[in-house]
Amino acid sequence: MDIIVAPVLSSGGLRHKGLAGAGTSLAADEVSTQLINPALINTYYANALSSRFGVYTSYGRDERFPGHGATAGVSFSRDTLGVLCGTGRYLQHDTNRYLYEASICYAGRLFEGNPPQGPVDVGITIRYQLYRWRRDYVGTSGTFVYSPADSLVDTSNVHHWPGREKGHRLFFDLGFFQKRVAQNLDFSLVFHNLLGYGWDKQKPGFLLDSVVFNPDSSQRHVVHAVQEDEDKTGWTAGRYRMTTVGIAFHTPILDDKATVMIPLDCRFFGLLDRGIKVRTSVYSGIEAGFGETFFLRFGYARAPSIPSRTAVAGTGSHWNVNQFSGGAGLHTDHIRADVYVADASWGVGLGVGF
């Protein structure tokens, strides 16, 4: 599993996860909204009349991080100065593979709208990750025998075990959101991993036993080799940059007693990297809100589930799979509770506004 792409695919609040990851154009009132589109948190506070400070926490598991997935965050709004929020996450694949992520986001109004179009908000998120990962560095193991011209016979046994990898990374995300780009239609544009820098230390588990002998003299030599630690620093490759274009259609129904939201996001991998083939994933869903209090959600996505390194690099064949999810929410003026379920995934969350 690629540990740069996987945390982004596991981002977003439970409202978005109940919609199979769609919703870069849905101004949800969760602090973790800034992980799916940094601009959305300002849109919410600009429309909120009773809240200027919020806290949020959630817990769940998904197919990428089946161990634990915990999120906590706070946000603060100061009238026209914008919104500042911070989020911490712990994502665990298993006891030997996990990461911590801390992010800080600032979002504000880029410019006011020109009726009939609405205002445009912009947000910037900086994410820091500390991860520890165990992986196999040698793809195969076995015995290789050959007979060179000097009559020596070499037998090499390659043994391998999961190596250790520890790293730090910084990522920069940029998001835009426009309310009412057309009648009943909102628009968003998000760049994940627009810039990234990492410093990693890898300790592969690699042992080569070479047995060399001469049949005539029965001479035998045994050689052992262990691969050394390797330090890596540098900018994140362009293939990790993700561009998402989203729209959300909303309309009242049942004599304004309910509202229907239909988000649609298209995420492009490799759009900003000429060296790989561009691949597209689609996220969509429908949310029905009743009296702005109770919400039901259903989502469908044709998107990566557990992205491998080869798939991210454009050389793997397995990429998009069908994904379904559902969720519900209960919101009051100051308290918000949400749940979602999907194949091998689930989560619960609670937010409080003051």
Q: Mind listing the pLDDT tens digit for each residue in 303-323? A: 988 777 766 766 655 578 999
Question: CA–CA separation, 261 vs 175, rounded Å?
Answer: 20
Q: In the predicted model, is pLDDT for residue 18 greater than 80?
A: yes
pLDDT at residue number 202: 72
Two structure tokens written together for 11: 């981002």
Which one is the CATH code of 5-133+168-196+239-353: 3.90.1150.10, 3.10.20.90, 3.40.50.300, 2.40.160.60? 2.40.160.60
pTM score of the predicted model: 0.83
Two structure tokens written together for 38: 């940094």
Residue corresponding to tokens 């009743």: 290
- Residue 31: pLDDT band (50, 70, 90) is confident
Q: Which residue has the higher pLDDT, 31 or 144?
A: 31
Mean pLDDT, residues 109-126 taken together: 88
pLDDT at residue number 155: 45
Nearest-CA neighbor of 75 among 101, 48, 97?
Answer: 48
Q: In the predicted model, is pLDDT for residue 32 greater than 80?
A: no
Cβ–Cβ under 8 Å, residues 11 and 103 = no
Q: Mind listing the pLDDT tens digit for each residue in 231-279? A: 778 888 888 899 999 999 999 998 888 999 999 999 998 887 777 788 8
Pairing mode, if any, of strands 345-353 and 53-61? antiparallel
Q: In the predicted model, is pLDDT for residue 212 greater than 70?
A: no
Two structure tokens written together for 33: 């909204």
Q: Mind listing the pLDDT tens digit for each residue in 338-350? A: 999 998 899 999 9
pLDDT at residue number 240: 86
Two structure tokens written together for 136: 């196999």
Q: What is the dihedral of CA 322, 328, 331, 337, to 10 degrees?
A: -90
Q: Mind listing the pLDDT tens digit for each residue in 54-64? A: 899 999 998 88
Residue 26 CB burial class (10 angstroms; 0-12, 13-18, ≥19): buried
Nearest-CA neighbor of 73 among 13, 159, 156, 152?
Answer: 13
- Tell me the CA distances in angstroms from 110 to 30, 248, 329, one per residue in order: 21, 20, 30
pLDDT at residue number 285: 96
Side-chain half-sphere exposure of 324, counting CA atoms within 13 A: 1
Q: For the chain, what percent of residues have pLDDT higher than 70?
A: 79
Q: Mind listing the pLDDT tens digit for each residue in 132-177? A: 887 654 444 444 343 444 434 444 444 444 567 788 999 999 999 9
pLDDT at residue number 46: 76
pLDDT at residue number 154: 45
pLDDT at residue number 320: 87
Cβ–Cβ under 8 Å, residues 14 and 95 = no
Question: CA–CA separation, 57 vs 263, rounded Å?
Answer: 24
Q: Which residue has the higher pLDDT, 147 or 337?
A: 337
Q: How far apart are the first and last CA of the chain?
A: 40
